[in-house]
Amino acid sequence: MISIAILGTGKIIPEAISAIQASGKFLVKSIWARPHSRDKAAPLAEKFNVETFTTNLDDILNDSAIDFVYVGLVNSVHYEYAKKCLAADKNVILEKPFTTTAAQAQELIDLARSRKLYLFEAITTLHQQNFYAIRDALNKIGAIKLVQCNFSQYSSRYDAYKRGEVSPSFDPKFDGGALMDINIYNLNFVIGLFGLPQKVSYVANRGFNGVDTSGIVTLEYENFLAQCVAAKDSGSPSFIMIQGDCGYILAHGTPNELSSFDLAIRGRDVQKFSLNKFNHRMVQEFVDFGEIFEQKNYSAVEVGLQTSLNVMKAIRDA
C-alpha cells in the first residue's frame, strides 16, 4: 500500500482519514499536529490505528518510508506546507482550496514538475462518476445558455461568529469566507467542464470583519453565463443546473457530493442517474489518487493541476 502522513487535526481530518483508509490504496502512517494541537493528535492516532503522531514536521519530511503527505490545514498555509513537502521530495495531496493565489499555485506546480512528484487537490466533485456522466451528457442538451450552481449551508460556526467569536473559517487573515470554502466546489465544477471564462466578477455579503459570509461569482463565457452562489450565513436546497437550448441537466444536493442528476431532453422523459460508487463523498478521490500513482499516469495529474490553476486564476480575477 501507499504510505501517507496527515498534516492537521481539524474538523476535516477524521473524515479524510476514514476515506483514505476506505479507499484501500493508502496506509496512514503518521499524524502531524502543531504543538498546541498535540492533545488532538493522540486520540486521532488511537481511533484510526495510526502508527505514530508527532509535532515535529521533520519526522514526516525525513521519513523515507512516507510516499505522500495530505495537507489538511487552514487555507492560508496550504502553499507554505505543500512547498515544504515537495521540497523534501514528498508527493502531496492538498485539501481545497489548492492555494490562495494563482502565483502560489503556479509555483507549486512548477516545483512538483521539476521533481517529478505527484501533486493533487482534493476536490471531491471532480472524481465522482456523476461528474463524468454530466460531462458526457452535455452535448445532448444543445448549446449551453446558463449554468447555476448553489452551495448554501448554514455554518456550524456562524452563530459564534455573530457573537463576535471568529474561527479561521470566518477570518480573512486565514483566507476564510464563502468564496475560498464552499464556492471552490462550484468553481471547480464549472471550470472543470468549460475551462477558464472570459470574465469573472464577485459580489458578496460581508460580515463585521470584512469576510464574505455569502456571495455570487459570475463567469462570462463566449456564448453563455454561469453563476456560482455560496452561502455560509444562510441555508437552502443546493443544486447545479445546466441549461441548453435542447434541454437541461439538474444535479441534486451539495456540489461537493454530486449525489445524483436528471437529464431532461426536450420531448423525452426525464432520465435519472445516481452513479457514484461510494456513499462517502471523499473515498473516490483517494481511490483515484492511488490508482494514478500506481499507474504512473502523470497526464491525469496534469489535468487536475490545470483545473486547480484555472480556478485560482478565476479567483484572482474576481
DSSP assignments along 235-301, one per residue: ----EEEEEETTEEEEEES-TTT--EEEEEETTSPPEEE---S-SSTTHHHHHHHHHHHHTT-HHHH
CATH number for the domain formed by residue range(s) 129-275: 3.30.360.10
Predicted TM-score (pTM) of this structure: 0.95
Give me the residue label for grid cell 512528484: 117
CA distance 148 to 227: 5
pLDDT digits (tens, 9 = 90+) for 12-67: 999 999 999 999 999 999 999 988 888 899 999 999 999 899 999 999 999 999 99
DSSP structural state of residue 11:
T
For residues 214 and 202, the answer to whether their CB atoms sit within 8 Å is: no
pLDDT digits (tens, 9 = 90+) for 180-233: 999 999 999 999 999 999 999 999 999 999 999 999 999 999 999 999 999 999
CATH number for the domain formed by residue range(s) 2-124+283-302: 3.40.50.720
**Count of other CB atoms within 10 angstroms of residue 279:** 9
- For CATH 3.30.360.10, the residue range(s) in the chain are 129-275
- For CATH 3.40.50.720, the residue range(s) in the chain are 2-124+283-302
CA distance 277 to 264: 23
Complete edge-to-edge strand list for the sheet that includes strand 260-265: 199-206, 212-220, 225-231, 144-152, 239-244, 247-252, 260-265, 271-273
Kindly indicate the confidence band of residue 123, based on its pLDDT and cuts at 50, 70 and 90: very high
Closest alpha carbon to 56 in 43, 73, 74, 38: 38
**Count of other CB atoms within 10 angstroms of residue 118:** 22
CA distance 281 to 285: 8
Element (H, E) at 102: helix 102-114
